[in-house]
Every structure is written in C-alpha cells, then in structure tokens.
A and B are shown apart, each in its own frame.
Chain A
C-alpha cells in the first residue's frame, strides 16, 4: 500500500466572482521511503498540492488517501494529530519562534503531542545532533545564520520521528553553500527511511530526489525517475 495515494485531486479557490483552479485533476502515488521532488513555476499549483498533502488544507474534489485513509474522513482535531505525529514540515522562511532558544524551538511539536515530558529534552537533543547543531543548543535563533536556522527547522520536523517530511523550498532563502548543507541532511534523512516530499523550482535541488513530478497550470506535465541523482558527497562535505 502506498503511503500517499491521490486520484483526480482538484482544488478551486473562490475569491468573490473569480474562480481559480489551482489543481485540476492530479493523480500519483508515493511509496514509503520515497524521495519525491515537485517542480513547477510559480502558480503551477505545487504549494497548493503540498498544503493538501500536509493536511493543512482540504481538496475540493478527488481523493487523497494517507496511510490508506481518506483525508476528508479526518476531523480537524484528528488532522492536527496526524500533522503532529506522522508529518514534519520545513518551510522556505524557516518559521522559527523569535527570541526563543534552539532547544525550545525544536521541542515545540512535543508540546502538542502525548509524549511524556521527561523524554522531551533528550529527544530534542538527539534531533539537534542529527542536524549537527549540538554546539548551538542554547543560542537564540536570531543569533544563527540562515543555513543554521533551516537546520533547526529540520530538527524540529524530525523530533516526532515522522513518516513523511514536507519541505517547501527549503533552500529558497539560502546561499548555495548552506543550501547544499541543508539538502545533504534531507538526503541523509531519506537514507534513514523517511519519506520526503520536496517542493522546489530549482532543477539543481530537485536532482537530489529519486523522482521528479513537474506541475504546470495545475496538471502533471511530467513524472520521471532521476537518472543521475545528485549526492551530497559529489560536491563537498559541510
């Protein structure tokens, strides 16, 4: 059973008189452990797709089965629980809490989980170690560089050991060096078995994935395997 199964997914936005069709019948599956990049120019519907896949929004028509269960069968509270336990999010603009330490930021998802509080600190430290920021544990996020901030965001996405990580233009606000560092971590996570859905408009970044889905005007234009995958060690390490 694929982890994600979408069939004829449609999303329409109504803003007053005008009706915008962001997705017009998109279908594909994602297997557990897969690394999929979704590409497309702005307005192609890739963000809308990510929001629905990430349980942040709901489709207008069509089906979306996550873990075998239709999205529309989840209540809002159940959807929140799925986001908390099974999904991790990495955003282009990091979305870290300002004036708050790295440790506190990474712990944030645990606040809404049923994990006993005694385990929080060790879980957070482990996640921070995975992104190589143990030496920044008690720094405020405002004292970190862009690349480091995005790594904090990845640690936060990791902390609940999610099945799937959604990364929305994670390198969009970074220089190429820190971008590569971030992508290396994403790649490592995939090697560890996490399913990754990466949204990007850079072909370069998309090359890290096993498969690239290209969207155009709300429809799939292309769905192909990556022949020559980019590996972190091809470039430079750290």
Chain B
C-alpha cells in the first residue's frame, strides 16, 4: 500500500466525523496558539530592549559601583560609594586608560521640580556634556551645557520633551527658571522626543551638570555610574581591561572576585537582556506546552473511542488483505493529520493575535514595538504538533492494528 493511499484513507476516515475531529484538535489549537503568541511577544520585547541598549553606541562602557550580584542573598549594593572624583581623575589619565576618549560621571536622583505653580517629580541626571552625544539628546531648541559650565557648577538644565509639556504646556520654556528641590536652574535646552535609551526615559528626565547635582542636590561625594566612551569599538576590550586594572590598583584589590565595581560594555548589557527575555519566553512556553499535553491526551482518548467504534471496519480491512502495519499506519496518520491541522490553525491564530497585540502594545507603550514572528516558532509549532500526534496516536493505532479479524468482524 502506497503512502499516498494510506494518507487518502486516513483523511477519509477523519472526514466521516468532521465535528468530532474539529473538537478533538481544539486543545492542540489552543496550545500552539499560545506558544506562537508567547514566542512572538518575547521576541518583540527582546528586540525593543536590545534596540534601546544598542542606542548607547558600541563604544560605550559603563562602570557601576558595587559588587556583582552573587545570587539573591548577596548585597550588590555593597560598596556603592566606590566611585568618586579620585577614580574619575585616575581613569582620565591617558597613561592608565589609553583607549578612553571621554567620560561622564553620573548622578541619578529623583526630585520634585516646579515652575510657577506646576510641581512634578522627575528623574534628574547629573552628567558631563558627553552624555548629549551618547544618548543623542542635542536639544532642538536651545543648547546643551558645556564642560566649562560643568566646571563652574552652573545651574543650567536641559529638559526632556515630556518635562516641558508637563511644566510649561504650550508656552515657551527656554531661559525660564525652574526649581529642582529648592535650587533654581535655568532651562537652556529642550531635548527632542526620544523614548527609551538604555534604561533611561529621556523624555521624562532633566539633565544638569554632574558637579551641580552632586553639590546642591544629592549632597554625596560619590557617583552612581561612570559612562566611558572608548576611542573606537576595536579598543573596547582592552579599555575595559585597563579600567579594571586602574581601579583595582587604586583600591588595592588583588583578587578580581573582590572588585568593588563592575564594568559592562553595551554588548554585555545586550547579552544580559537577551538571556533574561529568553529564559522568560522559554518558561512561559513551557506553561503553554502543558495545554499541548492535555490536547494530546484528548486526541488519544478520541482515537481510542474511534478504534472501538470502527472495530468492524478494521476486521473487514484485515479480511480483505490489510496487514497489521497497514492498519497501524492508517490510524497513526489519522492522529498526526489531526494534530498537524490543529498546529496549522494554531500558527495562523497565534500570528494573528501577535499582530493585534503588537498594534496594541505599540500604541500603549508609545514606542516602536516590532511585530516579529520567527520561522523557528512556526517550525517548532508544526514539529511539536506533529510529534504530539505521533506520541498520543501510537497507543490507539497499536490497539487497532492488534485486533484479530474474526473478533473484529463479530463485534456488534
């Protein structure tokens, strides 16, 4: 018996019970739909975050104070005051870190900001002028502060587009005075609408010189972060190494596991984000896979009923010359066709739902959420559904093929 004829026979067998076949595959449809949806959304989220990270530029290196987290109980916040002016000066020395082009110490805090009667809380970033280049926030109106202004502890601020809207509404913000905490700052620039860059919501932030932030706002002598720009992408690895060596010498650290700082490149961060979203996607897909197991058991159940119902048919086929293998193939094909059909419907539904979800998400988040469906997800969906049919169809198909022709023909 040719495979083509086995296939035809199996399809005929299924068409006799159309509505039952349709109900049987519901579990598979739901399972595959959720897996495709989860994989697509996971991929979309990953792309979104990675794009933000890549927005920092590939020559960017970030130094953070504190030890690398060793697990949930370890204090990653230990030694949070390890980056101060002394460290900044040492890093700036070209004989220590020759690959460093420029750096910006960062002071990050959240503070109430007021203009006339409007008061809102915003993220305030103390930075050097380098940050304008790295985050690409050169103001559309006005200008960014210069390094001289940083040295002079100037009270100037560049505000994000949302900050401008909330504080000033439609009226002009340039050269107006705002109050951060109780200190008066002059608005010298308004940055363009950017959305998220790195982990930073630029539109809802105010950028001021780090020196001013340290002295008047945070009141601390340490930095939350140092952003380094390497001379080129190629020198990033050795620059990272030089930074580590310099800081270790300065802090008298011989054992790298006792570092009181962390150095990460844009690539490191991208990788970390990738790992987190992948793990999350796999975890959620595994939950969705449970419905596939349930669906598979449903298929097995219905196929067993079908085998019992068709005992006479099986006996007849055997009497007319069907071998055990012929019967096994026919029933196995029936269940694989069922699950593959469920898989295809699930893939189509999953893609449609992902598309709708991506439309909603890009509206809600307001950023450019990409609709992505990977070929891998589709192939996985097909593979898994076919596999479920094979595994859960085997037992009923074996039961069918083992029937003795006389027992089967006698069955009423």
User: Which residues from chain A sit less than 8 Å from chain B, CB to CB?
Assistant: 51, 54, 56-57, 76-77, 80-81, 83-85, 89, 91, 95, 97-100, 108-109, 111-113, 117, 156
Contacts and interface: CB of A to CB of B under 8 A. Distances in A.
A109 B320 contact: yes
B289 to A, nearest CB: 36
16 contacts: A56-B318, A56-B404, A76-B323, A76-B324, A81-B321, A84-B320, A97-B313, A98-B16, A99-B16, A108-B316, A111-B1, A111-B322, A112-B320, A112-B323, A113-B321, A117-B5
Contacts of B404: 56-57
Nearest to A57: B406
B409 interface: yes
B12 A89 contact: no
Given A51-B406, A111-B5, A112-B1, A89 B324 contact: no
Contacts of B12: 100
Contacts of A98: 16
Contacts of A95: 312, 315-316, 319, 409
Given A97-B313, A111-B1, A111-B9, A56 B321 contact: no
Contact of B321 (A57, A80, A91, A97): A80
A112 B317 contact: yes
Contacts of B312: 95
A83 B409 contact: no
B329 to A, nearest CB: 11
Give the residue among B1, B12, B320, B324 with the most A Cβ atoms within 10 A.
B320
B405 interface: yes
Given A99-B16, A112-B1, A112-B326, A89 B320 contact: yes
B317 A108 contact: yes
Residue in B315, B321, B322 whose Cβ sees the most chain A Cβ within 10 Å = B321
A168 to B, nearest CB: 9
A95 B5 CA distance: 21
A109 B317 CA distance: 8
A57 B2 CA distance: 27
A98 to B, nearest CB: 8
Contacts of A100: 12
A113 B323 CA distance: 11
Given A100-B12, A111-B5, A156 B406 contact: no
B406 A112 contact: no
**4 closest cross-chain pairs (CB), A and B:** A84-B321, A112-B321, A109-B320, A80-B323
Contacts of B2: 117
Given A51-B406, A56-B405, A95-B409, A85 B321 contact: yes
Contact of A56 (B1, B313, B319): B319
Given A56-B318, A108-B320, 16 more contacts: A56-B406, A57-B404, A76-B324, A77-B323, A77-B324, A80-B321, A80-B323, A83-B319, A84-B320, A89-B319, A89-B320, A108-B316, A111-B1, A112-B1, A112-B320, A117-B2
A219 to B, nearest CB: 21
Contacts of A112: 1, 317, 320-323, 326
A89 B321 CA distance: 11
A236 B323 CA distance: 42
Contacts of B16: 98-99
Contacts of A85: 321
